[in-house]
Amino acid sequence: MSQFNLDELGLLHTMVNVSIDNAIDNDAPLQIIGVLQSVQEKLDSLIQIECDIFNEFQELTTQLDDLYLASQIIVKNPDAVTTDYQTN
């Protein structure tokens, strides 16, 4: 099963926002506006989850880069002081 990526979720979010604005401007039935708002809330949740995953990935890659640099320093100078790394 495919998931939406952030770009796709962002586009859907924009499209739903425009649809909500158009529905309000054109006096659409409240049920339609309510459904659109429900979809928007669900998209917001999905976007937040994807952003959290992306941010965690970014943090891990930064830590790996730092660890690599520290290992290079230690290889060249075993007595060098480097950042301590802890596992969660």
Domain residue spans of the chain: 6-76
Question: Cα Rg for the chain, rounded, in angstroms?
Answer: 23
pLDDT of 18-74, one tens digit each?
Answer: 999 999 999 999 999 999 999 999 999 999 999 999 999 999 999 999 888 888 888
Give 80 or 37, the one with higher predicted confidence.
37
Q: Write down the pTM of the prediction.
A: 0.70
Is residue 29 a contact partner of residue 13, using CB atoms and an 8 Å limit?
Answer: no
pLDDT of 29-39, one tens digit each?
Answer: 999 999 999 99
Tokens encoding 75: 């290889």
Model confidence at 83, pLDDT cuts 50, 70, 90, reads: low
